[in-house]
Amino acid sequence: MFCKKCKSLLVPQTDEKGRVKFACRKCGTSSRSKELKIISVNPKRDKLFFVDKKENNELPITNEACPECKHRKAYYWIIQTRAADEPPTKFYKCVKCEHTWRDYS
């Protein structure tokens, strides 16, 4: 909601009687909404999964060096673990020693 007087964003506040009102931080105007709706957001959590040996043969292989054994072949997969405006996370699993690591770039 926006202030009718100065067009700034109205923020919810409670008045002295505990009722919710919308107030403008810029000009101080306040008003109560007749159609106040409280929305609760419960984000859905993604399921965690594991990559085991029998699934590795289905994953693509890249020439990424393992930080543990320095072998230059690794399975990889990509998952969006952060906000949508950030790049996805790349996960790697060494073909030789099976060490798993990630790359956020």
From 55, 68, 86, 103, active-site residue: 86
Does the active-site annotation cover 85? yes
Nearest-angstrom CA–CA distance, 103 and 105 = 6
Does the active-site annotation cover 86? yes
CB 51 within 8 A of CB 59: yes
- The first and second tokens of residue 53, run together, are 């040996």
From 16, 35, 46, 85, active-site residue: 85
CB 91 within 8 A of CB 76: yes
Which residues does the annotation mark as catalytic? 85-86
